[in-house]
Amino acid sequence: MKYLGDYKIVLLTCSVIALSIYIAIYRIEFGNGNFTANRTDGGGKVSENPFFDDDFMFMSVSEDIDRSFSLHYDYYRESCPSAEKIIAKSIRDISDVKPSVAPSLIRLLFHDCFIEGCDASVLLDVDESNTSEKEASPNLSLKGFDVIDAIKSELETVCPGVVSCADLLVLAAREAVLVAGGPFYPLETGRKDSAMAFKKIAQDELPGPQAILSEILARFASRGFSRRETVSLFGAHSIGITHCTFFENRLYNFSGTGKPDPDFNPGVVQELKTKCPFSVSASSPSASPGLVPSLPASDSRNSYGMSSGSSNDGVIDLSYNNEGGDENFGTRYFKRLMEKKGLLFSDQQLMGSEETELWVRAYASDPSLFRRDFAMSMMKLSSYHVLTGPLGQVRTTCSKVLPRN
Give the DSSP H or E segment for 46. Answer: strand 45-47
Contact segment (CB under 5 A) with Ca ion among 14-22, 119-127, 201-209, 383-391 equals 119-127
Give, in order, the Cα–Cα distances in Å from 403 to each of 51, 128, 195, 205. 30, 12, 10, 29
Select the residue interacting with ligand HEM from 42, 103, 183, 296 (CB under 6 A): 103
Q: What are 241's strand-pairing partners?
A: 317
Task: Answer yes or no: 111 catalytic.
Answer: yes
Residue 46 binds which entry of Ca ion, ligand HEM, none, CB below 5-8 Å type-dependent: none
Q: What are 39's strand-pairing partners?
A: 47
Residue 330 binds which entry of Ca ion, ligand HEM, none, CB below 5-8 Å type-dependent: none
Residue window 135-164: x/- pattern of binding to ligand HEM, with contact defined by CB under 6 A: ------x-x---------------------
How many residues does this entry show for the chain? 405
The residue whose Cβ lies closest to ligand HEM is 240
CA Rg value for the chain: 24
Is 119 a binding residue for Ca ion by CB under 5 A? The answer is: yes
Residues 295, 286 contacting (CB under 8 angstroms): no
Of the pair 239, 251, the CB lying nearest ligand HEM is at: 239
Of the pair 90, 245, the CB lying nearest ligand HEM is at: 245
What does the alpha-carbon distance between residue 118 and residue 104 come to, in Å, rounded to a whole number?
Answer: 16
What does the alpha-carbon distance between residue 316 and residue 85 come to, in Å, rounded to a whole number?
Answer: 33
Residue 104 binds which entry of Ca ion, ligand HEM, none, CB below 5-8 Å type-dependent: ligand HEM
Select the residue interacting with ligand HEM from 39, 46, 52, 107 (CB under 6 A): 107
Contact segment (CB under 5 A) with Ca ion among 74-82, 113-121, 154-162, 338-346 equals 113-121
Residue 396 binds which entry of ligand HEM, Ca ion, none, CB below 5-8 Å type-dependent: none
Select the residue interacting with ligand HEM from 117, 190, 240, 342 (CB under 6 A): 240
Counting residues that bind ligand HEM (by CB under 6 A) gives 26
Residue 240 binds which entry of ligand HEM, Ca ion, none, CB below 5-8 Å type-dependent: ligand HEM
Is 115 a binding residue for Ca ion by CB under 5 A? The answer is: yes
Helix axes 83-97, 165-179, angle to 10 degrees: 50
Nearest to 148 by CA among 111, 198, 182, 117: 111
Of the pair 66, 357, the CB lying nearest ligand HEM is at: 357
What does the alpha-carbon distance between residue 20 and residue 33 come to, in Å, rounded to a whole number?
Answer: 18
Specify the 3-state DSSP secondary structure of 189.
strand
Burial of 249 (C-beta count, 10 Å sphere; 0-12/13-18/19+): buried
What does the alpha-carbon distance between residue 178 and residue 184 come to, in Å, rounded to a whole number?
Answer: 6
Is 232 a binding residue for ligand HEM by CB under 6 A? The answer is: no
Give the DSSP H or E segment for 89. Answer: helix 83-97
Contact segment (CB under 5 A) with Ca ion among 12-20, 89-97, 106-114, 220-228 equals 106-114
Interface ranges with Ca ion (CB under 5 A): 112, 115-116, 119, 121
Cite the active site residues. Answer: 111
Interface ranges with ligand HEM (CB under 6 A): 100, 103-104, 106-107, 110, 141, 143, 207-209, 211, 216, 233-234, 236-237, 239-243, 246, 309, 344, 346
